[in-house]
């Protein structure tokens, strides 16, 4: 199946109250595991590529080529979107689109609102010409590298009126408002802004995106989905599952040296982690609108 944009899968998810997972690609094994999980669960899926991982994985064209080759190799029949996660500039988003990505996130949230809107509008115009979808961010979803504690995240909530203006002036396809989630492992109990989440969904009419989906309690995930969250980003949980499987294998087989011997169980662990998230999000069996 050819790569698709996120637009239709997220609109359907928001309408039917389920979410599609964005699972980040860290290497070949992650890509294989995520695609196999989607095929097994008959779930639409979003393959996310963080900007920092582009040089590590050999560049945008290599990543897109690898994904397309694996889709053909495995005979994947479910909708797959290839998405640039947290693109920091108009230029990197355009490079991703030209490489074959079918969706981009322009993250200009570190700029003032006027600049954020202006950059996002340019990216959206270009992406829509190519049939690609666009995600934008308002507020500031921070991460472990920023040395933030969860309590501080509440002060960075997105403003509802700003979200409405962003949607109206840019034509984006989904929006990621900062509402208390963080990237990386949580330190303390997260405080998601559910009231504002519902308000933003109602006033913008767009599917919402939840970043920092790893480590959130299941009941908070389900509540977010009920309020219009149709895309949930997961990476840390999958990375932990992968690394733990490798550690266990090497502890049990200290003589091992062939990477295949420890990467096979690692890949299995990633796939199981992804499948568990798909079931939680309610996307299992939703490929092609059959459920």
Tens digit of each residue's pLDDT (9 = 90 or more) over 112-138 = 999 999 999 999 999 999 999 999 998
List domains and CATH numbers for the chain. Answer: 7-289 (3.20.20.70)
Plot region of 17 (φ>0 → left; ψ -120 to 50 → alpha; else → beta):
left
Q: Rounded CA gap, 152 and 144, in Å?
A: 12
Q: Residue 189 has which token pair?
A: 């109990």
Residue with more model confidence, 72 or 150: 72
Helix (H, G, I), strand (E, B) or coil at 153: helix
Helix (H, G, I), strand (E, B) or coil at 5: coil
Q: Is the pTM of this model over 0.85?
A: yes
Angle between helix 259-281 and helix 218-226 axes, rounded to 10 deg: 50
Would you state the structure tokens that stand for residue 244, as one six-digit string? Answer: 């733990």
pLDDT of residue 214: 83
Residue 160 CB neighbour total at 10 angstroms: 18
Looking at the chain, list the stretches that DSSP marks H as alpha helix, in order from N- to C-terminal side: 7-16, 28-41, 53-56, 60-74, 90-99, 113-129, 150-153, 160-170, 194-204, 218-226, 236-252, 259-281
| Strand partners of residue 175 | 136, 208
Query: pLDDT-based confidence at 140, cuts 50/70/90?
Result: low
Q: Which positions are annotated as active-site residues?
A: 85
pLDDT band per the 50, 70, 90 thresholds, residue 156 = low
Per-residue pLDDT reduced to its tens digit, 249-267: 999 999 999 999 999 999 9
For the stretch 193-242, pLDDT in tens is: 788 999 999 999 999 999 988 888 999 999 999 999 999 999 999 999 99
Read off the pLDDT of each residue in 176-197 and give the average, rounded to a whole number: 68
**Closest among 142, 108, 138 to 122, alpha carbons compared:** 108
Q: Does the pLDDT at position 145 exceed 90?
A: no
Quick one: average pLDDT of 31-44? 98
The predicted pLDDT at position 180 comes to 63
């Amino acid at each position: 199946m050819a790569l698709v944009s996120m637009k239709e899968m997220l609109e359907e998810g928001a309408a039917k109250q389920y979410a599609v997972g964005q699972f980040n690609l860290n290497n070949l094994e992650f890509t294989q595991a995520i695609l196999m999980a989607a095929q097994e669960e008959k779930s639409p899926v979003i393959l996310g590529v963080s900007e920092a991982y582009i040089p590590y994985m050999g560049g945008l064209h290599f990543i897109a080529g690898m994904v397309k080759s694996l889709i053909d190799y495995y005979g994947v029949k479910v909708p797959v979107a290839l998405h640039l996660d947290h693109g920091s500039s108009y230029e990197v988003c355009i490079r991703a689109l030209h490489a074959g990505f079918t969706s981009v996130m322009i993250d200009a949230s570190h700029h003032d609102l006027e600049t954020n809107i202006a950059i996002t509008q340019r990216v959206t115009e270009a992406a829509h010409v190519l049939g690609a979808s666009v995600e934008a961010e308002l507020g500031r979803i921070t991460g472990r590298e920023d040395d933030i504690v969860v309590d501080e995240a509440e002060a960075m909530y997105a403003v509802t009126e700003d979200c409405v203006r962003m949607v109206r002036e840019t034509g984006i396809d989904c929006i990621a408002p900062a509402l208390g989630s963080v990237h990386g492992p949580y330190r303390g109990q997260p405080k998601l802004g559910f009231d504002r989440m519902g308000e933003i969904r109602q006033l913008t009419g767009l599917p919402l995106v939840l970043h920092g989906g790893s480590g959130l309690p299941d009941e908070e995930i389900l509540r977010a989905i009920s309020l219009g969250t149709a895309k949930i980003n997961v990476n840390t949980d999958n990375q932990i599952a992968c690394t733990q499987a490798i550690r266990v294998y090497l502890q049990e087989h200290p003589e091992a040296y062939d990477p295949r011997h420890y990467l096979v169980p690692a890949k299995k662990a990633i796939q199981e982690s992804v499948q568990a998230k798909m079931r939680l999000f309610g996307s299992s069996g939703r490929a092609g609108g059959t459920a």
